[in-house]
């Protein structure tokens, strides 16, 4: 009799202690498409995870899983985290969209944050950054600096986010250099150093002396360095180890403030499903240091553009702009609306080649 | 000195013992690696091998084991037939992709109609897709004597391009403006392949894998074709004298493995994956080659090997998520398994003799 009471008491105490412990800490999970050492996209998401830990200290516990394939496996990784007691899960690649929605439906008490997608539900938010603002700056520098007038572009998947980047870079390169030509290679992967390097080499062999990338590794930087006289831009992360040449600047994704804000909202119970799309103005997109390989006047113009975009005085998609087929898109002075940008599936006038479809 | 002496026939005992020995050695070497990474090796091994079956969340993981093992077993059973006969289909990944595309295309063609016959038609289309893709290397081999290893392997990359083209073009979801990928078949009842019993992970593909194991077992042990397959593998000359038609054998083995891989792809795209997407395939076709050999090309062995392989995946993911072991370490761990399996194979074909120096 006494023994059972004792056992029951202990079990209860243990149970309560466990529950108390679980309540104390908010658990945040992160699913990455590449390894955290990719030096680009996943690396920056992981830096933001560390920033969350730093900010909340003992009040938060984080877990992550790297190199999770987009598709059926992603669903398992998310379920695993939700079962493991995660309160909020950040799924950081476009291809996790349907799996996130599926898993979120099974765990209504867990909050989900999906990066770069367009499907939301009561417990799924979406967030993305206006990378195209940074692409405008890149395009300007690229247009000014190319000597062969050929700019190579490594595309990952032909989704609106990537197409926006190509258009934005092209518009601003063309503005300062009417002879500029873009060639795009689609590699159909976010992270594959071998494929990315091959694409960079092919573009360089075709005469490109600027290589822009929308993939996550530093392999294109290495390929450009080997070729010499080719400039690149850090993608998603600063990639400063390739400065001052070939990397002359970069777009840095700064997720930390957003992640800290959302985890904080889970803690105080104010989290709700939202769609966030921030850019240079809030600091979600940052422009990495422009090196001395860029002429001083070009650097000055580029910085002025960063300033103007950040202050909301300049929108990278400002008319007059036509679509690739010559049809009118934006009239003089007209600015693109977010809806069109979010679903952008056309090139602007002047870009040769077709979007795969 | 240690000397290896060739056995006249492979040792039966070692044939069964070596896979277990390989697993044991993998645990040992893997444990050392985890320790070197600063993780508790016992906890890591327990997380990988024990937790998915009997741990806290086993109710979820057990189903996932079947989800993961199903396509591996289905593909490996087909491949094993060819491997036994010395016909090397390395391109199951491509046949898996084409099967998925054919199956999904038939289903999407009916969208949004709901008829009972849609899913059966998709199953047939999936098998045909895989079969046709496998016929390319098969016919090139019998007509022009090309190497089926190279042709089938390279066709995987063609199939991947085909997949991307379908996800971006013909099969793209017309309602998803600008985004690639087909409609999600999980949300189209007539064309979906959900779990038969909720929470068990058992979908039609898992059932098909079990049926394939049984049929392969009967084929190999009771049927003349099975005898021909074994004979061709052990002694091609004897097989020819014995009346085995090598052309028919190549076509049969490639066709069967292609059709099963196609089925696996079809069940995956309608079930766990849900849609044709550019990154739909995740290497089942290649992993199945390992599974086939891990299972000694024997249907029952493949069943067990498929489950073991699935366990290393599921457990490996769990170890990543809970112990924060890097993904690369988990891949290395899986690599060790194959390495040790091939390494200890020497024991079934050779006898180890300790020879004193100078005596010989």
Across B15-40, average pLDDT: 91
Residues A174, A180 contacting (CB under 8 angstroms): yes
Judged by CB atoms closer than 8 Å, whether chains meet at A357 and B64 is answered as: no
- Contacts B321 to A, Cβ<8 Å: 29, 63-65, 77, 80-81, 84
DSSP string covering A209-240:
SEEEE-SSSSHHHHHHHHH-S-EEEE-SS--G
Predicted confidence band of residue B357 (pLDDT cuts 50, 70, 90): low
- Residue B325 phi/psi, 5-degree rounding, is -80, 135
Q: Which of A46, A91, A98 to mutate to test the interface with B (most CBs of B within 10 A)?
A: A98
Residue A295's CB is within 10 A of a number of other CB atoms, namely 12
Q: How far apart are CA A337 and CA A348, in angstroms?
A: 15
pLDDT number for residue A4: 44
Q: Let me know whether A241 and A259 are in one domain.
A: no
- Give the distance from residue A87's alpha carbon to the nearest chain B alpha carbon, in angstroms: 15
Is the ipTM higher than 0.85? The answer is: no
Cα–chain center distance at A334 = 27
Q: How far apart are CA B179 and CA B181, in angstroms?
A: 7
A301 in any annotated domain: yes
Structural domain span for residue B217: 68-295
Asked if residue B202 belongs to a domain, the reply is yes
Output the domain CATH number for residue A43: 3.40.50.2300
> Does residue B233 surpass a pLDDT of 90?
no
Is residue A37 in a domain? Answer: yes
> A18-59 pLDDT, tens per residue?
444 445 799 999 999 999 998 899 999 999 999 999 999 999
Distances (CA, A) of B294 to B14, B17, B53, B277, B339: 14, 12, 20, 30, 11
Whether B224 shows a pLDDT value over 70: the answer reads: yes
Listed residue (B25, B30, B62) closest to B46, CA to CA:
B30
B 22-61 near A (Cβ less than 8 A): 57, 60
pLDDT band at A134 (very low <50, low <70, confident <90, very high): very high
Q: No. of H helices and E strands in chain B?
A: 15, 2
Provide residues of A within 8 Å CB-CB of chain B: 29, 35, 63-67, 69-73, 75-77, 79-81, 83-84, 95, 98, 102, 118, 157-160, 163, 188-189, 343-345, 356-357
Instruction: Determine the average pLDDT of the residues in B131-159.
Output: 96
Domain membership of residue B81 (yes or no) is yes
Q: Which pLDDT band, with edges at 50, 70 and 90, does A11 fall under?
A: very low
pLDDT higher than 80, residue B355? no
* Residues A226/A198, Cβ–Cβ less than 8 Å: no
CA–CA distance, A86 with A97 (Å, rounded to integer): 18
Residue A348 distance to chain B (closest CA, Å) = 15
pLDDT higher than threshold 80 for residue B320: yes
Enumerate residues 6+ apart whose C-beta is below 8 A from B100.
B126, B129, B163, B262, B265, B266, B268, B269, B273, B276, B280, B281
Residues A121 and A135 in one domain: no
* CA–CA dist A82, B315 (Å, integer): 16
- B353: β partners: B3
The DSSP output letter for A47 is H
- Give the A:B interface size as CB pairs under 8 Å: 90
Query: What is the average pLDDT across B12-27?
Result: 86
Helix, strand or coil for residue A27? strand
Q: Is A204 in the same domain as A323? A: yes
Separation of alpha carbons A266 and A262, rounded Å:
6
Please give the share of chain B, as a percent, with pLDDT higher than 70: 98
SS3 at position A79? helix
Query: Interhelix angle for B224-234 vs B58-84, to 10°?
Result: 70
How many separate domains does chain A show? Answer: 2
Indicate the DSSP class of residue B112. Answer: T
Does A356 reside within a domain?
A: no
Q: How far is B70 from chain A (nearest CA, A)?
A: 13
Is A357 contained in some domain? no
Instruction: Give the domain range for residue A102.
Output: 25-129+255-278
- Rg (Cα) of chain B, in Å, rounded? 22
- Ordered DSSP codes for B222-244: H-HHHHHHHHHHH-HHHHHHTT-
Determine if the peptide bond prior to B253 is cis (ω within 30°).
Answer: no
Do A330 and A216 lie in one domain? The reply is yes
Least confidently predicted of A75-84, A212-221, B178-187, B215-224: B178-187
B96 pLDDT above the threshold of 80? yes
**Is A78 found in the same domain as A140?**
no
CA-nearest of A271, A269, A266, A273 to A121 is A273
Query: Which chain B residues in 283-322 lie under 8 Å from chain A, judged by CB atoms?
Result: 314, 317-318, 320-322
Domain count, chain B: 1
Cβ–Cβ below 8 Å for B172 and A357: yes
Same domain, A135 and A124: no
- Does the residue B34 lie in any domain? no
Average pLDDT over residues B145-173: 94
Average the pLDDT over each of A32-36, A128-132, B147-151, B237-241 and give the range with the smallest value.
B237-241
- Quickly state the pLDDT bin for B354 (edges 50, 70, 90): confident
Q: Which residue in the block uniquely carries the two structure tokens 């059932």?
A: B207
Any A CB within 8 A of B187 CB: no
Distance of CA A11 to the CA centre of its chain: 46
Apex B254 CA angle, B253 and B258, nearest 5: 120
| Residues 6 or more apart in contact with residue B337 via CB below 8 angstroms | B22, B23, B26, B294, B312
Calpha distance B308→A200 (Å, rounded) = 40
- Band (pLDDT 50/70/90 cuts) for residue A221 is very high
What value does the mean pLDDT take over residues B190-196?
Answer: 91
Q: Are residues A91 and A177 in the same domain?
A: no
pLDDT score, position A92: 96
Distance between CA atoms of B290 and B308, rounded to whole angstroms? 11
Which parts of chain B are beta strand (E)? Answer: 2-6, 350-354
Q: Is residue B304 part of a domain?
A: no
Lowest-confidence region among A242-251, B249-258, B347-356: B347-356
How far CA A221 is from CA of A129, A168, A213, A229, B256, in Å, comes to 23, 21, 9, 12, 46
Same domain, yes or no, for A234 and A331?
Answer: yes
User: What residues are paired with A278 via a beta bridge?
Assistant: A129
Nearest CA in chain B to A35: B327
Q: Please say whether the beta carbons of A126 and A81 come within 8 A.
A: no
Tokens describing residue A326: 């010559």
Better-scored residue on pLDDT, A167 or A319: A167
Domain annotation covers residue A3:
no
| Per-residue pLDDT, B358 | 57
Burial bucket for residue B343 (CB in 10 Å: 0-12, 13-18, 19+): middle
Mean pLDDT, chain A, rounded, equals 91
Strands across the sheet containing A285-288: A181-186, A150-155, A210-213, A231-234, A247-253, A285-288
The single-letter DSSP state of residue B86 is: T
What is the C-alpha to C-alpha distance for residues A97 and A75, in angstroms, rounded to an integer?
10
pLDDT for the residue B241:
84
Nearest to B349 by CA among B4, B22, B83: B4
Asked if the structure places residue B187 within a domain, the reply is yes
Q: Where are the beta strands (DSSP E) in A56-192?
A: 60-65, 88-91, 111-115, 124-129, 150-155, 181-186
Q: Give A14's pLDDT tier (boundaries 50, 70, 90).
A: very low
Is B155 a residue whose pLDDT tops 50? yes
Q: Cα separation of A52 and A264, whole Å? A: 9
Confidence check: pLDDT of B143 > 90: yes
Which among B39, B92, B124, B52 has a CA at the least distance from the CA of B257? B92
**Do B70 and B209 touch, CB atoms closer than 8 A?**
yes
Tell me whether residue A136 is in a domain: yes
Measured in angstroms, the CA of B268 and the nearest CA of chain A are apart by: 9
Least-confidence region, from A44-58, A172-186, B54-68, B165-179: B165-179
Q: How far is CA B181 from the centre of its chain?
A: 25
Q: Which of residues 213-272 of B touch A (CB under 8 A)?
A: 268, 272
Q: How far is CA B286 from CA A162, A276, B307, in A?
A: 30, 40, 16
pLDDT at B236: 82
Confidence of residue B322 (pLDDT cuts 50, 70, 90): confident
Residue A289 Cα, gap to closest chain B Cα (Å): 31
Instruction: Mark whether A271 and A219 lie in a shared domain.
Output: no
CB neighbour list of residue B86: distance below 8 Å, 6 or more residues apart: B232, B233, B236
Q: What is the pLDDT of residue A1?
A: 38
Burial, B32: exposed, middle or buried (Cβ in 10 Å; 0-12, 13-18, 19+)? exposed
Mean pLDDT of B123-132: 98
Rounded Cα distance between B112 and A107, Å, is: 29
Residue A9: per-residue pLDDT = 42
Q: Inter-chain contact B321–A63, Cβ cutoff 8 Å?
A: yes
Q: What is the pLDDT of residue B341?
A: 84
Report the pLDDT value the prediction gives residue A99, as an integer from 0 to 100: 92
Residue A7 lies in a domain: no
Of A119, A44, A113, the C-alpha closest to A265 is A113
Q: Is the pLDDT of residue A60 over 70?
A: yes
> What is the reported pTM?
0.86
Q: Is the pLDDT of residue A144 over 60?
A: yes
Same domain, yes or no: A115 and A201: no
Give the mean model confidence (pLDDT) for residues B311-319.
91
Do A264 and A309 have their domain in common? no
Domain membership flag for residue A4: no
Answer yes or no: do A80 and A220 share one domain.
no
How is residue B87 written in tokens? 């016909």
């Amino acid at each position: 009799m006494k023994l059972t009471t004792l056992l029951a008491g202990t079990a209860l105490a243990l149970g309560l202690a466990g529950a108390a412990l679980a309540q104390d800490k908010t658990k945040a999970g992160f699913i990455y498409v590449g390894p955290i050492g990719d030096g680009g996209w996943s690396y920056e998401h992981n830096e933001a995870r560390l920033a969350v830990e730093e900010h909340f200290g003992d009040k938060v516990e984080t877990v992550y899983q790297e190199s999770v394939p987009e598709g059926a496996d992603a669903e398992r990784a998310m379920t695993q985290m939700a079962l493991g007691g995660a309160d909020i899960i950040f799924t950081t690649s476009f291809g996790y969209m349907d799996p996130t929605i599926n898993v979120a439906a099974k765990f209504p008490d867990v909050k989900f944050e999906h990066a770069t997608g367009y499907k939301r539900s009561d417990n799924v938010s979406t967030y993305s950054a206006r990378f195209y603002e940074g692409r405008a700056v890149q395009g300007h520098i690229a247009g000014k600096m190319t000597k062969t007038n050929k700019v190579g572009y490594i595309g990952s998947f032909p989704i609106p986010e990537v197409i926006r980047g190509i258009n934005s870079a092209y518009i601003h390169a063309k503005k300062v250099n009417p002879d500029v030509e873009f060639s795009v290679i689609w590699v159909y992967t976010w992270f594959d150093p071998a494929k990315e390097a091959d694409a960079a080499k092919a573009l360089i062999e075709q005469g490109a002396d600027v290589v822009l990338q929308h993939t996550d590794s530093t392999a294109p930087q290495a390929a450009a360095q080997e070729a010499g006289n080719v400039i690149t831009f850090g993608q998603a992360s600063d990639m400063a180890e390739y400065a001052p040449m070939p990397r002359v600047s970069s777009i840095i994704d700064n997720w930390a403030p957003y992640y800290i804000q959302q985890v904080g909202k889970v803690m105080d119970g104010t989290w709700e499903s939202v769609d966030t799309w921030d850019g240079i103005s809030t600091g979600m997109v940052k422009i990495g240091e422009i090196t001395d390989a860029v002429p001083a006047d070009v650097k000055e113009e580029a910085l002025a553009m960063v300033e103007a975009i950040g202050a909301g005085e300049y929108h990278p998609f400002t008319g007059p702009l036509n679509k690739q087929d010559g049809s009118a898109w934006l009239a003089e002075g007209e600015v693109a609306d977010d809806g069109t940008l979010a679903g952008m599936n056309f090139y602007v006038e002047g870009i040769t080649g077709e979007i795969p479809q | 000195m240690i000397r290896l002496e060739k056995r006249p026939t492979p040792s039966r005992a070692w044939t069964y013992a070596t896979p277990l020995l390989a697993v044991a050695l993998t645990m040992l070497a893997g444990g050392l690696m985890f320790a070197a990474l600063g993780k508790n090796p016992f906890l890591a091994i327990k997380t990988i091998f024990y937790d998915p079956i009997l741990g806290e969340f086993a109710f979820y993981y057990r189903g996932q084991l079947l989800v993961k093992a199903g396509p591996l077993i289905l593909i490996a059973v087909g491949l094993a037939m060819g491997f036994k006969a010395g016909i090397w289909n390395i391109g199951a990944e491509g046949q898996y992709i084409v099967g998925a595309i054919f199956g999904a295309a038939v289903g999407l063609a009916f969208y949004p109609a709901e008829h009972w016959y849609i899913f059966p038609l998709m199953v047939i289309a999936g098998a045909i897709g895989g079969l046709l893709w496998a016929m390319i290397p098969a016919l090139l081999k019998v007509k022009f004597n090309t190497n089926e290893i190279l042709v089938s392997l390279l066709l995987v990359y063609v199939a991947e391009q085909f997949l991307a083209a379908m996800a971006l073009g013909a099969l793209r979801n017309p309602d998803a403006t600008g985004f690639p990928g087909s409609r999600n078949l999980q949300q189209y009842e007539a064309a979906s392949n959900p779990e038969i019993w909720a929470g068990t992970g058992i979908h039609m593909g898992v059932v098909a894998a079990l049926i394939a194991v049984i049929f392969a077992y009967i084929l190999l042990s009771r049927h003349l074709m099975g005898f021909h397959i074994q004979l061709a593998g052990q002694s091609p000359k004897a097989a020819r004298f014995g009346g085995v038609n090598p052309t028919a054998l190549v076509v049969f083995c490639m066709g069967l493995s292609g059709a099963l891989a196609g089925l696996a792809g079809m069940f995956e795209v309608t079930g766990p994956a849900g849609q044709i997407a550019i990154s739909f395939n995740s290497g089942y076709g290649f992993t199945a080659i390992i599974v086939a050999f891990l299972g000694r090309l024997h249907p029952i062995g493949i069943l067990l090997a498929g489950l073991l392989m699935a366990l290393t995946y599921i457990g490996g993911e769990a170890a990543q998520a809970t112990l924060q072991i890097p993904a690369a370490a988990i891949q290395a761990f899986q690599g060790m398994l194959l390495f040790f399996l091939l390494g200890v194979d020497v024991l079934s074909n050779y006898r180890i003799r300790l020879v004193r120096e100078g005596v010989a």
